[in-house]
Structures are given as C-alpha cells and as structure tokens.
Amino acid sequence: MTPELRDSRFLRAARREPVDTTPIWIMRQAGRYLPEYRAVRDKVSLIELCKRPDLAAEVTITAQRVLGTDAAILFADLLPILEPMGLKLEYAKGEGPIIHNPIRTAGDLDRVKELTDVGEMEFVFEAVRLVRAGLPPDIPLIGFGGAPFTLASYAIEGGGSRHYIHTKTMMFAAPQTWHRLMERLTTSLIRYLTAQVQAGCQAVQVFDSWAGCLSPADYRQYVLPHTKRLIEGLPRDVPVINFLTGNPALLPLLREAGGQVIGLDWRVDLKQAWAQLGYDVGVQGNLDPISLYADLDTLRQRVRAVLDAAEGRPGHIFNLGHGVLPDMPHEHVKALVEMVHEMGTR
C-alpha cells in the first residue's frame, strides 16, 4: 500500500487515528440517483454492468469524483458469487434477483459447491484493478461481499423475503444442513474477498443486510461462528467494516464477530452504540437515509446530530444507516458530503 493511501483520511479513521475532518462515503454511492450512473444503465442491464469491468469501474470512479467522498466502493452486487457455487441467478426486470434452484433440503445442498477457482469472478477483480488505476492516489477503494447469512437467505428463499420462512425453518429444524451451507458460503467468501484485496482494495465491507430478522440467541448460534470465521480469514492488513441492519440488539454480537469498524444503521443512537461496543473499535454511520429528502437546513441539523453523537472521537466514518435510494436528490447527496467535511473538522 502506498503512503498516500495509508495516510488517507478514511484509512486513518478506520485505524482510529486522528483526522482533519470526518471521512465520509455512502452506501450505494454509485447508484441510480446519479445522472452519470443512469446514463450508463440506459445502455446495459444491472447484471451486464456488474460483469463489464470497464463500465463497473467507470461508475465507481465517477461517483467518487462527483461526490468528493473519502473512499470509493466497488460497483458490484452481492449475489453473483452464488453462480459459480451452483445457483441459477436471474435479475428479472423490475422484480429483483431470483434464484431458480433454491436450497431447501439436505439433498439440495449437493448442488452447492465451494468457490474453488476465484477466476470465475475475474470480472470483479478486473474492475478492482481498473478502479484502483483510475482513482486519485489518496482515495482508498472498498471491496465488499454479503455476509454468509444474507447470502444463505437469498440461496434458500430464492430471492428477497419478508419473513425468511424457509431460511429460518432450515436453521431451526435442520441445523446440520444449515451449518454445512454456511460453511461453504464462508469458505467461498474468504477466497472471494481475499482476491478482491489482492486485486487492489484497501478495505472490505461485509454486508449482513438481512440478519436483523434474527434474535440474539439465533444469531449467536447459527450465524456468529461463520461471520467470525469469515472475518478472521481475511487479509490482516486491510480493515474490515462489519455491517448489519435491522436489529440493534445484535450489535454486541456483531462486535464479537469481528471487524475494525462496526457499521451502524440509523435505528440506534451512535453515541450509545459506540459506548456499548467499546472505543477500541471504529464505528461507521448512521444518518437516516430518508433525511436526504428533507430541505438542506433540516439535513444539516441531522448531520450535525450524528457528528455530535460521535463527539469528534477518532474512529468515526460518516455514512448513511443504509444505502441511497434511487430517487434521492443527487444535489442533496453532494451537499451531505460537503456538510460532513465542513462540520466534521477538529
């Protein structure tokens, strides 16, 4: 890693070192709310965009440049890793991802293989190399993947879900099958995310976007060992941001699972959460994304409240509590970055 990257605002904060102002990046910052992104998406589908390294790199780099964020996040999707593992994935128009051969039984598990040849995800690593070459030399690139639970729930439900009936039923009633599936996903994710780092990422975020549907006891029993093994299996020299949304009661367990930085959604008070997690870990978050629809004065007050909750403590990375939505006003997203940089000085 170059000195410029090592001393970047984002990576200093991830190591809980003092910074001139609070760093910010935004989940789904290269998304549909940006005119520059829509111009690319007018020509290709979501999955084509994910699989075209030149285009994925273009939208990643453009978003960082347009917004002035302190890090770029690779444009990619959580689910393509499931394809070389044997799942038939389709992005149906207007419907979100569908898996045509979901895993419901111990027998179905025979169809799920570990990712052994990471070359099958080469389009991702090529995009990483192109982004790294095209980004300013002091802007880190964040790689990412789904956490084992979130990928398992997609693989089992066959798509998005409201109640996670199949997932939880397997977990509760067929725990051996569940753990075997989680083990294969975890091993695959270790290889996939390690290869992202080797291709040029300076940090990794693990997204457990759906684990908020679990009780603490179930998270501890069925999820924590796998997420912990994943994080322990990643290269030691890049920080891991461990992010989960939807259940503040899981935060102490998320901390146990690991990561130099814990990603907070907006459901929790950042000050209280950080005190509970301990100051030997960084925190990322946690503006309610819907704040971006309000007028700029209101937005500014709400940004101030998040910064105040962090008390200027080294180790805070500003972000939304979840991703930008497609119809958010892009001027407000840009203004948010400026506000954080202006008000986060210390």
Is 105 an interacting residue with respect to a second copy (CB under 8 A)? no
What token pair was written down for 313?
């403590």
- DSSP lists the bridge partners of residue 314 as none
Choose the binding region for a second copy from 62-70, 183-191, 193-201, 282-290 (rule: CB under 8 A).
282-290
Containing 229, the helix (H) or strand (E) segment is helix 224-232
Question: Burial level of 119, CB count in 10 A (0-12/13-18/19+)?
Answer: exposed
Is 215 an interacting residue with respect to a second copy (CB under 8 A)? yes
Is 205 an interacting residue with respect to a second copy (CB under 8 A)? no
Q: Which is nearer to a second copy, 164 or 243 (CB)?
A: 164
Asked whether 239 and 203 are in contact (CB, 8 A), the reply is yes
Residues with Cβ < 8 Å from 215, sequence gap 6 or more? 249
Comparing CA positions, the residue from 215, 214, 308, 320 lying closest to residue 267 is 320
Q: How far is the CB of 257 from a second copy (least distance, A)?
A: 17
Comparing CA positions, the residue from 32, 37, 38 lying closest to residue 60 is 37
Supply the DSSP string of 37-52, one letter for each residue.
Answer: HHHHHTTS-HHHHHH-
Q: At what angle do helices 296-310 and 270-277 cross, to 10 degrees?
A: 20
Report the first-to-last Cα separation within the chain, whole angstroms: 27
Is 176 an interacting residue with respect to a second copy (CB under 8 A)? no
Q: How far is the CB of 176 from a second copy (least distance, A)?
A: 13
Is 184 an interacting residue with respect to a second copy (CB under 8 A)? no
Question: What count of Cα atoms within 13 Å lies in the side-chain half-sphere of residue 222?
Answer: 25
Question: In the annotation, is 154 catalytic?
Answer: yes
Is 294 an interacting residue with respect to a second copy (CB under 8 A)? yes
Choose the binding region for a second copy from 60-68, 179-187, 206-214, 230-238 (rule: CB under 8 A).
206-214
Which residue from 235, 246, 312, 314 is in contact with a second copy, where contact means CB under 8 A? 246
Q: How far is the CB of 163 from a second copy (least distance, A)?
A: 6
Is 1 an interacting residue with respect to a second copy (CB under 8 A)? no
- What's the length of the chain? 346
Which residue from 10, 25, 149, 164 is in contact with a second copy, where contact means CB under 8 A? 164
Q: How far is the CB of 112 from a second copy (least distance, A)?
A: 22
Which residues are at the interface with a second copy (CB under 8 A)? 163-165, 168-169, 172-173, 212-218, 246-250, 266-269, 272, 288-291, 293-295, 298, 302, 305, 325
Catalogue the active-site residues.
28, 32, 41, 77, 154
